[in-house]
Amino acid sequence: MAAESEQPVAFEAVAAAVVPGAPRLSGAQAPLLQQIEVIDDTGVARGLRIPAEAPLTVYVDRRELVTLMTLGAAPELMVLGWLLNQGLVDRVQDIEAIDVDWSVHAAAVKTRRGIARWAERTARRVVTTGCGQGTVFGDQMAQIDAVRLPAPGEARIRRETLAAMIDAMRSRYDVHRAAGSVHGCALFRDTRMMVFVEDVGRHNAIDAVAGWMAMHGVGGGDKAFYTTGRLTSEMVIKSARMGVPIIVSRNGVTAMGHDLASRLGMALFGRAAARKFICYCGFERWVPDAGPPDAETADPSVDRASSG
């Protein structure tokens, strides 16, 4: 556990080149923790650190769009991923810059050619389920039918890979260890963690992962996504839009999340902890027996992020 004076790390990623035409990101930073005074069960007063949740209002071409409640570990990537996952922009190159200013709790997004059909795309709003409720714009259910994920034979997961993911996540909850009250999400290629994010809402964390993938041209077809949060319809939709066919969660799944994943041919693993888990659907992507890793997978120094 980090010392009281240390600042935990809520965002980490492997080194990777950005794609041509990627937007300029401001790289804003804000305190992740806040110190408060509490009274414990013995009546003793003591200091305690809690996550520094804060509002971040997103403006697109000077028009206010939405306010996101966030820890702010990677705010520019979160905003970028949110716009992509909402279908408000189609490519990372559609955005020129994202500037976050924590002094006014604002994220200014400048697009290259504006957002087509702005009124139509933002007219319908759905408040999503779970902690730190999010907002989904537009008809996400109609858009999801266009998603094409790799066939089961092209994207599977072995027992030892899944167990390694669980072990890796258990050791990486920096903010959670220091203060609790956050979710962690990560993207894996085999047993290698490529990007890790903590935030007050699981939807914020997955958006930051999506933003990082887009900035670096990393595809999701050969990846697996891990979240400490519930596998709701929103998490399944966003994972599918990222092209990731396998999702692992420390928590369970909702009926709608299960139905969507089954329809899309995704594999959902829940209750994943201490090397135990439940496969809710997508059994054809599961390789239960341990097998010898190939030479590329066996070498942890191999960086395949640039291959997408």
Residue pLDDT, tens place only, 39-74? 999 999 999 999 999 999 999 999 999 999 999 999
From the candidate CATH numbers 3.50.50.60, 3.40.140.10, 3.40.50.720, 3.40.50.2000, the one assigned to the domain spanning 152-302: 3.40.140.10
Of 70, 55, 69, 48, nearest to 179 by C-alpha is: 48
Q: Where in the chain is the domain with CATH 3.40.140.10?
A: 152-302
- Tell me how far CA of residue 219 lies from CA of 3, 213, 214, 224, in angstroms: 37, 7, 8, 11
Distance CA(306)–CA(274), nearest Å, equals 31
Mean pLDDT confidence for 293-305: 38
Element (H, E) at 178: helix 174-179
- Token output for 52: 């520094």
**207 contacts 238 by C-beta, under 8 angstroms:** yes
Q: Is the pTM of this model over 0.95?
A: no
Residues in a beta bridge with 107: 58, 100
Of 218, 205, 131, nearest to 172 by C-alpha is: 205
State the pairing for strand pair 157-158/135-137.
Answer: unpaired
Query: What pLDDT sits at residue 205?
Result: 95
**Could you tell me the pLDDT band of residue 144, with boundaries at 50, 70 and 90?**
confident
Residue 303 has pLDDT above 50, yes or no: no
For the chain, give the longest Cα–Cα distance: 60
Residue 164 has pLDDT above 70, yes or no: yes
Percent of the chain with pLDDT over 70: 85
Tell me the per-residue pLDDT of 186-236, one tens digit each, with 9 for 90 and over: 999 999 999 999 999 899 999 999 999 999 999 999 999 999 999 999 899
Q: Where in the chain is the domain with CATH 3.10.20.10?
A: 11-144
Query: What pLDDT sits at residue 4?
Result: 53
Q: What is the CATH number of domain 11-144?
A: 3.10.20.10
